[in-house]
């Protein structure tokens, strides 16, 4: 007994007509009739009563039908499980400063391995095939890649809660005069690095000094809390309860933090990656009061 024969049998039993079943299956009626006869011979019993109006299941046919459906369903599930097991997870680069909802959303919509990779390195790996997709901060050199923006939030001023600026409802660029900026190594995300500093200059603020932010969050927080006249430009989610920091919005014309899911359009799973990007854009864009991520960029 073959799965094909059971599938043919179910089609005839459900249609109660050989020609209609053959049309549904996309085969010739004579071929279908031969397969039904072969199945009856294997089982040693008639499964249908042939009449001028059609083919009516016999008692044996009626008994076989639910069992045949169960076997076909089980076979379909077995194929689905085997295919899923044979498919490797998507390798997606992220940075610790990615939107806090991004990780859960990625895991909810796809089988993924999330890899902590700086933006510049992500772009290299995407072109070389070392990553399937990347969650990168914009602007970035995404030439030749598909890029869908999945998060767009304002940057504000992150300071120690004892800082003179901490109690303000909002800050202007002039309020930041004489403050140093706690920033990051340009090699990690050169496009974003340059764009934000250009925004500061265009707004009339030139930080007293650019301080290189420590890679570990604990040291980053300590620098803000004990480093004197220093501020950081961060999204609101980067302030965490109990860390001794305050986040103050910029009154107007503040820069924004945008992230995009990026992938090679020639990737053999480009369709699922595009669907994943649409899911992230719809569900993973955090609100300004979102929970903080697990680390910094």
297 within some domain: no
* Count of structural domains, the chain: 3
Task: Report, as an integer, the average pLDDT of 27-32.
Answer: 89
Domain check: are 244 and 264 in the same one? Answer: no
In angstroms, the Cα distances linking 129 to 40, 134, 151, 273 are 53, 11, 25, 14
295 located within any domain: no
Q: Is a pLDDT exceeding 70 seen at residue 229?
A: yes
Report CA torsion sign: 56, 62, 67, 73.
positive
pLDDT grade for 26, boundaries at 50, 70 and 90: confident
Rounded CA separation 139/102 (Å): 18
Q: Give bridge partners of residue 135 from the DSSP assignment.
A: 261
pLDDT band for position 283 (50/70/90)? low
Residues 52, 198: one domain? no
What is the average per-residue pLDDT within 165-185? 95
Tens of pLDDT, residues 138-151: 999 999 999 999 98
Tell me what pLDDT residue 291 has.
Answer: 38
The verdict on 164 and 249 lying in the same domain is: yes
d(CA 31, CA 52): 19
Residue with tokens 């309020």, as numbered in its chain: 175
Tell me the percentage of the chain whose pLDDT exceeds 70.
Answer: 93
CA distances from 120 to 108, 126, 136, 186, 222 (A): 26, 10, 9, 10, 27
Q: Is residue 290 part of a domain?
A: no
The model's pLDDT over 178-216, given as tens digits with 9 standing for 90+, comes to 999 999 989 989 999 999 999 999 999 999 899 988 767
Same structural domain, 139 and 276: yes
63 and 147 together in one domain: no
Looking at every residue in the chain, the average pLDDT score rounds to: 88
Judge if 216 and 195 occupy the same domain.
yes
Rounded to whole angstroms, how far apart are CA atoms 19 and 91? Answer: 49
Q: Are residues 267 and 129 in the same domain?
A: yes
Same domain as 227, residue 134: no
Q: Is the dihedral of CA 219, 120, 116, 270 positive or negative?
A: positive
The pLDDT tens digits for 40-78 are 999 999 999 999 999 999 999 999 999 999 999 998 888
What are the pLDDT digits (tens) for 97-110? Answer: 888 777 777 887 77
pLDDT of 179 reads 96
Q: b/e map of 109-131 (b: 16 or more CB within 10 Å)?
A: bbebebeebbbbbbbebbeeeeb
Higher pLDDT, 278 or 122: 122
Q: Is residue 59 part of a domain?
A: yes
The residues, ordered by sequence, that sit 6+ positions from 287 with a Cβ below 8 Å of its Cβ are none
Domain of 206, in residue numbers: 152-256
pLDDT at position 292 over 60: no
- Please check the confidence at residue 9 and state whether its pLDDT lies above 70: yes
Q: Residue 295 has what pLDDT? A: 33
Tell whether 18 is covered by a domain.
yes
Reported as a pLDDT band with limits 50, 70 and 90, residue 87 is low
Whether 25 and 77 map to the same domain: the answer is yes
Q: Which of 62, 86, 110 is the last residue of a domain?
A: 86
Phi-psi map region of 264: left, alpha, beta (phi>0 left; psi -120 to 50 alpha): beta
Given the structure tokens 């496009």, which residue do they identify? 191
Could you tell me if residue 294 is inside a domain? no
Same domain, 131 and 226: no
Quick one: pLDDT band at residue 84, thresholds 50, 70, 90? Answer: low
For residues 93-100, average pLDDT: 84
Ranges 170-184, 195-209, 213-227, 282-296: which has the least confidence: 282-296
Token pair recorded at residue 237? 């989610």
Token pair, residue 128, equals: 């070389």
192-199: list long-range contacts, CB under 8 Å, 24+ apart.
192/119, 192/137, 192/138, 192/139, 192/140, 195/139, 195/255, 196/155, 196/233, 196/255, 199/255
Q: 161 and 250 share a domain?
A: yes
Direct distance between the N- and C-terminal alpha carbons of the chain, in angstroms, rounded to an integer: 60
How confident is the model at residue 297, as a pLDDT?
36
Where does residue 247 fall: left (phi above 0), alpha (psi -120 to 50 degrees), or beta otherwise?
beta
> Can you give the CATH number for the domain in which 34 is found?
1.10.10.10
Query: Does residue 292 lie in a domain region?
Result: no
Task: Please say if the pLDDT value at position 294 is more than 70.
Answer: no
CATH code of residue 108: 3.40.190.10
Query: Scanning the structure block, which residue is given the tokens 């569900």?
Result: 283
252 & 264 share domain: no
């Amino acid at each position: 007994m073959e799965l094909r024969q059971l599938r043919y049998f179910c089609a005839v039993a459900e249609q109660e007509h050989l020609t209609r079943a053959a049309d549904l299956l996309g085969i010739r009626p004579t071929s279908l009739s031969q397969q039904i006869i072969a199945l009856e011979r294997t089982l040693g019993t008639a499964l249908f009563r042939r009449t001028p109006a059609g083919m009516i299941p016999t008692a044996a046919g009626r008994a076989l039908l639910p069992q045949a459906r169960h076997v076909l369903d089980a076979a379909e599930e077995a194929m689905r499980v085997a295919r899923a097991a044979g498919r490797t997870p998507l390798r997606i680069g992220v940075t610790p400063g990615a939107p806090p909802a991004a990780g859960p959303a990625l895991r909810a919509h796809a089988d993924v391995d999330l890899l902590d990779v700086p933006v510049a390195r992500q772009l290299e790996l995407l072109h070389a095939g070392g990553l399937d997709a990347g969650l990168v901060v914009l602007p970035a050199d995404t030439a030749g890649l598909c890029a869908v923006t999945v998060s767009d939030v304002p940057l504000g001023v992150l300071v120690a809660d004892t800082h003179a600026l901490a109690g303000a409802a909002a800050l202007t660029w002039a309020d930041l005069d004489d403050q140093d900026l706690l920033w990051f190594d340009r090699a990690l995300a050169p496009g974003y690095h340059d764009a934000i500093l250009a925004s500061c200059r265009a707004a009339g603020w030139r930080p007293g000094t650019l301080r290189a932010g420590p890679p570990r969050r604990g040291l980053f927080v300590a620098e803000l809390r004990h480093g004197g006249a220093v501020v950081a430009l961060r999204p609101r989610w980067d302030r965490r309860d109990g860390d001794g920091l305050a986040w103050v919005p910029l009154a107007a014309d503040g820069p924004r933090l945008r992230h995009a899911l990026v992938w090679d359009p020639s990737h053999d799973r480009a369709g699922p990656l595009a669907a994943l990007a649409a899911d992230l854009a719809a569900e993973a864009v955090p609100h300004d009061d979102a929970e903080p991520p697990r680390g910094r960029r």
